[in-house]
């Protein structure tokens, strides 16, 4: 196998002393004990110390503890996230959903992480995922091919520029503020396999089990419980959803318009647009977009997933038209870029997913969308997040 051009490769097991998963002791959290890292603690290339919980050291083995320059890889769910253990994480343990790689040459860990987080590295990791949970096995990690010169790699040699790192820090800044108020950990999104529902509780419009099991999740309980610093509001109270009506215009007029495919999910930028005669588009083009409005997907296979697309309308895109596969939103009592940030967060995406119908091509109707619960922070914090998010999007530019 060849990667990175003509570079020779080797199996990860050839350069490792040990590759194993984490502890399988029962996770009963205690106030004082050993810190445990779960998959949900991985965010943007690092582990957030503030979200770590602790477990009793009873039953832990020497192999369960991690040390500086160990390489950690998430193995389920949002699998394929890779970090290097830094000194502030030493002597923590990891859950069984995380794979630990201990290199024969620990000082080379930084280079290995740089490769695994690069485009070719992530492509290689993506290829070994399997099943609905995107599971990665220990065997697959042991057999994973990496460049022989991996120890010499850096983020810069793999095409991640300093400018790109600075842009990413803007988004990390948003998360840092937000995580002071809401911790989006793995336990928050666990959905029970079954629940008991009385006939009175059944909604004839929602006979899918997902709708009812979601109501028993910790996320559902959290979004219906205010705290001193977080107040939850229905999205419909903060925005206006424009009506999807057929514009009145000449059938032969050429129209600039935006489809779902024109919005980049990761960066939330509109990276292109389409052109056609209105007579060819009239069945699906519904909105005339205005400055500082948002568009967000209401249907499609990615609805409510990490690939869910949303964007704020700015510059030349104001005045263009958009497909009815979007909701076109006017923010009334919420900062547009703070709302855009929220539309990228698991606490909102999981609500969109729960409210959607359809197995492969999912749709969330207006009533369900307006009922999504939005966390309101102090105004100054929402404005700080909105300002950083605006800079993040603008830094990526447009076509």
Closest by CA to 151, choosing from 285, 343, 12, is 12
| pLDDT the model gives residue 333 | 92
| Beta strand segments in 272-351, E | 274-277, 285-288, 294-297, 299-300, 310-312, 321-323, 326-331
Judge: domain 186-396, CATH 3.40.50.970: no
Q: What would the two tokens of residue 202 be?
A: 């059944």
Helix/strand/coil (H, E, C) string of 223-265? HCCCCCCCEEEEHHHCEEECCCCCCCCCCCCEEEEECHHHEEC
Report yes or no: 92 and 54 within 8 Å, Cβ to Cβ: no
The residues, any chain, with a CB within 8 Å of residue 396's CB and separated by 6 or more, are 167, 264, 267, 269
Coil, strand, or helix at residue 295? strand
pLDDT, position 211: 62
Question: Which segments in the chain show pLDDT lower than 70?
Answer: 1-7, 132, 150-165, 191-212, 214-216, 397-399
CATH class of 9-158: alpha beta
| pLDDT the model gives residue 298 | 94
Q: Supply the pLDDT for residue 193.
A: 65
pLDDT at 6: 45
Nearest to 98 by CA among 116, 119, 82, 120: 82
Extents of the domains making up the chain: 9-158, 186-396
* Among 346, 313, 301, residue whose Cα is nearest residue 242: 313
Do residues 328 and 241 lie in contact, with contact meaning Cβ atoms separated by under 8 Å? Answer: yes
Q: Could you tell me if 289 and 322 are in contact, meaning their C-beta atoms sit under 8 angstroms apart?
A: yes
**Which pLDDT does position 3 carry in this prediction?**
40
- Which tokens in the block code for residue 104? 């024969």
What distance in Å separates the CA atoms of residue 336 and residue 69, rounded to the nearest whole number?
41
The pLDDT score that the predictor gives to residue 188 is 76
Q: How far is the C-alpha of 239 from the C-alpha of 134, rounded, in Å?
A: 35
Cβ-count burial 54-89 (b if 16+ within 10 Å, e if not): ebeeeebeeebbbeebbbbbbbbbebbbbbbbeeeb
């Amino acid at each position: 196998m060849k990667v990175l051009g003509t570079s020779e490769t080797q199996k990860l097991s050839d350069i490792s002393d040990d590759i194993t998963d984490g502890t399988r002791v029962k996770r009963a959290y205690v106030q004082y004990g050993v810190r445990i890292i779960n998959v949900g603690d991985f965010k943007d290339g690092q582990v957030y110390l503030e979200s770590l919980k602790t477990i009793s050291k009873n039953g832990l083995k020497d192999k369960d503890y991690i040390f500086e320059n160990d390489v950690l890889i998430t193995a389920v769910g949002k699998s394929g996230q890779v970090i290097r253990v830094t000194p502030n994480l030493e002597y923590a343990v990891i859950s069984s959903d995380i794979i630990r790689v201990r290199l024969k040459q620990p000082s080379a860990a930084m280079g290995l992480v740089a490769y695994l987080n690069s485009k070719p590295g992530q492509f290689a990791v993506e290829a070994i995922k399997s099943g609905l949970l995107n599971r990665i096995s220990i065997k697959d990690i042991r057999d994973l091919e990496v460049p022989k010169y991996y120890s010499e790699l850096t983020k810069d040699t793999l095409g991640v520029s300093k400018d790109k790192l600075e842009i990413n820090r803007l988004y990390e800044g948003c998360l840092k503020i937000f995580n002071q108020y809401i911790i989006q950990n793995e336990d928050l999104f666990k959905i029970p396999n079954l629940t008991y529902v009385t006939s009175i509780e059944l909604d004839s419009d929602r006979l899918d089990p997902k709708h009812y099991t979601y109501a028993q999740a910790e996320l559902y309980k959290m979004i219906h419980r205010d705290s001193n610093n977080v107040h939850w509001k229905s999205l419909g109270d903060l925005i206006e959803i424009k009506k999807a009506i057929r514009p009145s215009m000449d059938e032969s007029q050429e129209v600039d318009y935006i489809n779902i495919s024109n919005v980049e999910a990761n960066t939330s930028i509109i990276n292109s647009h389409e052109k056609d005669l209105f007579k060819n588009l009239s069945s699906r083009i519904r909105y005339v977009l205005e400055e500082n409005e948002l568009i967000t997907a209401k249907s499609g296979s990615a609805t409510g997933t990490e690939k869910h697309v949303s964007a704020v309308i700015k510059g030349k895109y104001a005045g263009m038209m958009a497909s009815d596969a979007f909701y076109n939103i006017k923010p009334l009592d919420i900062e547009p870029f703070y709302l855009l940030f929220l539309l990228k967060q698991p606490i909102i995406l999981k609500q969109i997913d729960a409210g959607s119908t359809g197995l492969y091509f999912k749709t969330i109707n207006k009533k369900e969308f307006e009922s999504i619960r939005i966390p309101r922070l102090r105004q100054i914090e929402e404005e700080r997040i909105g300002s950083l998010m605006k800079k993040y999007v603008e830094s990526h530019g447009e076509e």
